[in-house]
Amino acid sequence: MAAMSSKSIADEDLAFPFNSDSGKYWQYISDQVMGGVSDGKVTLEQDGEMYYARLTGNVSTRNNGGVIQLRTGISFSNSEKDGKNFQGVRLNVRGNGETYDIHIITNDMAYYGDFYSASFQADSDWKMIELPFNSFERKRFNVSKLEAKNIRSFAIAAYGRDFKSDVSVSTVEFYY
């Protein structure tokens, strides 16, 4: 996939289905940037009219590693609509039965490795999962709740243990 770039979304444009141009907004990242040995890749694939990103690889906790991810920069010009703020994120996913994470980095990040996280299971059939922001936990510095207006990075991650990753995502939606 191409290098990460930030994008702004309008209040009425909350759904982000993958398409033939999605590669320029998303980036593959592994723990190898920090000396880890996890390896993998992201491919943009198509099933009929539906495009999806597929994150595959081997996650290894050797050398203080344990992550491969598909990440994008994102910012909200306004996370509020009709007096309501974004409440969470929905994803259309499928996978190999493993548990995966959503990692969100915010503007109030205290240090590298400070992020919010929520887990989901990706089974062999496509399904829409919903993760309310109040279910996200801040790693290592758990003193604040996740607020959509502070989001600067969003990632689908294979994380935290030794396993084989194979997860696909066709749509990311933020909901009120």
**Confidence at residue 143, expressed as pLDDT on a 0 to 100 scale:** 67
The number of helices, as runs of H, and strands, as runs of E, in the chain is: 0, 16
Query: Which pTM was predicted?
Result: 0.89
Compute the distance between CA of residue 167 and CA of residue 96 in angstroms, rounded to an integer.
Answer: 7
**Confidence at residue 141, expressed as pLDDT on a 0 to 100 scale:** 67
CB 70 within 8 A of CB 53: yes
**Confidence at residue 99, expressed as pLDDT on a 0 to 100 scale:** 98
User: For strand 75-76 and strand 8-9, is the pairing parallel, antiparallel, or unpaired?
Assistant: parallel
**Confidence at residue 82, expressed as pLDDT on a 0 to 100 scale:** 77
**Confidence at residue 109, expressed as pLDDT on a 0 to 100 scale:** 83
Per-residue pLDDT of the chain (176 residues; tens, 9 = 90+): 333 333 444 444 478 999 999 989 999 999 999 999 999 999 999 999 999 999 999 999 999 999 999 999 998 767 777 778 899 999 999 999 999 999 999 988 878 788 999 999 999 999 999 999 999 999 776 667 888 989 999 999 999 999 999 999 999 999 98
**Confidence at residue 5, expressed as pLDDT on a 0 to 100 scale:** 36
Q: How many C-beta atoms surround the C-beta of residue 141 within 10 A?
A: 13
User: For strand 116-121 and strand 137-138, is the pairing parallel, antiparallel, or unpaired?
Assistant: antiparallel
Domains of the chain, with CATH numbers?
A: 8-175 (2.60.120.430)
